[in-house]
Structure 1
Amino acid sequence: MAFPTSCLAHLPVHGVWKTHPIGHDLANCTWRIENGEHQYIVKQYSHDAAFGRQTGDTIQLDALLAEQGIAPAVVYADEMTGVTVQEFLTGDVVASIFDPIQRAEQLAEAQLQVHQLGVDVRPWSLSERVQAYCNALEELKPGRGREARSDCESYANLFSAWEHGPRVFCHHDLSAEHVFFRPELKIIDWEYAGYGHPAFDVASTIVINDLYDDEIDTFIETYNQSAKHMIDREGLRDWIRLVALINRIWFQLQEALEAAEAEKREQKATAADSEQTTTA
């Protein structure tokens, strides 16, 4: 994905900007830009339908969370193109904490604060979102799509528990790299956030950060000290399996979309070469 240069005209300061890619997948691309004095983060969301999102919802969510002070300030946003420009954070991230037990404690405290948020956003269904993954995957890789849908059917009880169980605001991608704990708590990368089951969100955090048993024990103990909905270690095992399944489907979809886009680029290049040959 090419850098969205049109956003530069909307920045509060101007100059010659250098762009540095810092993240790329089919769901979004991210750049750090700097002009020697100022730095910003530029993000562009894409393939919303394939990833079960409503166009513009993520942009609106970024702004709502920035207003609550837990996410970076939004400098510019365009819902139609999926482009947002945010402040560049320079604090310490939880991933920089050397002691894994302290990291687990900080992650649990951040998770608690997320679960205590009240955000006015459109609710979404985990089952419907994962079915969107499966549908998009089946269009590109029919065998894999059907297999993914079949695998999901064996977790029908957990999908139902997600829909009808306790509801809190969840991040769903709480990597230690996404949590700035100094000088104040700020969290980035909210594109999968929304109201959901707290145990699913905790399981997501455990899987994303690859926590070991003693770290999981510390996380759950810290979380349960102030949580409205207690997390049971035994019950968490099934949620972790569901998270692992959804992550696998997501990565398969990402791989299939990348292959399809690469094929389109190759066909376009071949057509251009053919046109040049004919003209010559």
Structure 2
Amino acid sequence: MGTTSGSKALRQTLPQPDPALIAMLTALPDFPWPLAACRLREIPGGEINRCFRLEVAEQTLLLKWLSAQQRVPLDRAAQFALQQQLARHGMAAEPVYLSACQQIWLEQWCEVQTFADQDPDKLSLLATALGQIHGLTINTPALDLVAHWHCYLKHLPATEQQIFLPAIATCEAVWAQADKSVLCHHDLSFGHVLKAPAGVILDWEYAALSNRYFDLASCAAINQLSDADAQQLAANYASATGIRREDIQAGMEQMQPLVQLTNALWYAANRDKTG
């Protein structure tokens, strides 16, 4: 009796899930469990998508409620297949379900431990993680960065579109000549590199075959690295990969305008979502 009463009390204290999410899950013909058996608790954070802890049938899963209003055409099925491959390499949680509408995603729950922001080895950790990602042999589509730019552009007023067009033309020529043969994360913030489980990296949503120096420059921008820290990231990456530091720095400098353009377009296109 005590256990049952305690479970009821716990359920009553949990915030009620969004009715729109419940309606969506109810409408899915192949959702793995009856909703009456599921306990959902929202995890704070996320600018575009929403995440929930799902407890059901003596297991815990991460449920991602993916926005239907993405500003770029992300292929969730390709992302699911990519993460399955990454899970086999021990670098991502195992995905277990993707709805036909590609808005409900389930993966194995991981109790994660991040490194402290003040960790003196954080630049080395980022460089090592990037080197490991870039060294993987993965079957996945290549990043069509130019198409992403134009997708973002469509969501801007005509007058604002004109501001970006010269930079797009210049950067498009650079991207056309760039090597795009290695797996890249494209969103490797310091918080995505985990202390535990060791080797696991979070949030592969934008991963694709791409240019390693674009990924490095993106990493520097996402983590708001100073020029000195960006140079140290390049030095650490050189040590991790055996690529000459001078070549890495030159590649990052070449890709920096493309990263700046991508970030500016992303924020402009998502202003209504991020505030």
TM tier relative to shorter chain: 0.7 to 0.9
> For 1:187-238, what per-residue CA distance to the aligned partner results, in whole angstroms no more than 9, with x for missing partners?
1111111111110000011110112234323321121123265443244234
Q: Structure 2 CA distance, aligned partners of 1:66 and 1:14?
A: 30
> For 1:8-50, what per-residue CA distance to the aligned partner results, in whole angstroms no more than 9, with x for missing partners?
9525998451321433444x33223457x75422113334773
Label 1:78 to 1:18 Cα distance change in 2 as closer, same or farther (>3 A). Answer: closer
Label 1:87 to 1:19 Cα distance change in 2 as closer, same or farther (>3 A). Answer: same
Correspondent of 2:164 among 129, 148, 173: 148
Q: Structure 1 CA distance, aligned partners of 2:187 and 2:195?
A: 16
Deviates more, 1:14-23 or 1:121-130: 14-23
The share of aligned pairs that are identical, in percent, is: 22
Matched, 1:123 2:142: yes
Q: State the aligned residue count.
A: 251
* Equivalent residues of 1:56, 1:80 under 8 A apart: no
Correspondent of 2:72 among 41, 51, 57: 51
TM-score between the two structures when normalised by the length of structure 1: 0.76
- Say which SS state the counterpart of residue 41 (structure 2) adopts: strand
Matched, 1:182 2:186: no
The equivalences for 1:185-264 within 5 A come to: 185-227=199-241, 229-230=243-244, 231-256=247-272
Matched, 1:160 2:176: yes
Runs of 5+ unmatched residues, structure 1: 260-280
Label 1:13 to 1:227 Cα distance change in 2 as closer, same or farther (>3 A). Answer: farther
- Quote how far apart the aligned CAs of 1:102 are: 0.4
- Say which SS state the counterpart of residue 43 (structure 1) adopts: strand
Matched, 1:80 2:101: yes
- Say which SS state the counterpart of residue 44 (structure 2) adopts: strand
Matching residue of 1:108 = 127
* Equivalent residues of 1:18, 1:33 under 8 A apart: yes
- Quote how far apart the aligned CAs of 1:128 are: 2.0
Q: Structure 1 CA distance, aligned partners of 2:229 and 2:261?
A: 22
Q: Structure 1 CA distance, aligned partners of 2:94 and 2:33?
A: 13
Matched, 1:20 2:42: yes
Runs of 5+ unmatched residues, structure 2: 1-17
Amino acid at match of 1:65: L
Label 1:180 to 1:12 Cα distance change in 2 as closer, same or farther (>3 A). Answer: farther
Q: Structure 2 CA distance, aligned partners of 1:238 and 1:47?
A: 34
Amino acid at match of 2:216: V
Label 1:228 to 1:206 Cα distance change in 2 as closer, same or farther (>3 A). Answer: same
- Quote how far apart the aligned CAs of 1:79 are: 4.1
> For 1:112-149, what per-residue CA distance to the aligned partner results, in whole angstroms no more than 9, with x for missing partners?
110011111122321122222223x24xx222233223
The equivalences for 1:54-73 within 5 A come to: 54=75, 56-73=77-94
- Say which SS state the counterpart of residue 186 (structure 1) adopts: coil
Q: Structure 2 CA distance, aligned partners of 1:29 and 1:218?
A: 34
- Quote how far apart the aligned CAs of 1:67 are: 2.8
Label 1:65 to 1:14 Cα distance change in 2 as closer, same or farther (>3 A). Answer: farther
Q: Structure 1 CA distance, aligned partners of 2:37 and 2:207?
A: 34
Q: Structure 1 CA distance, aligned partners of 2:150 and 2:126?
A: 29
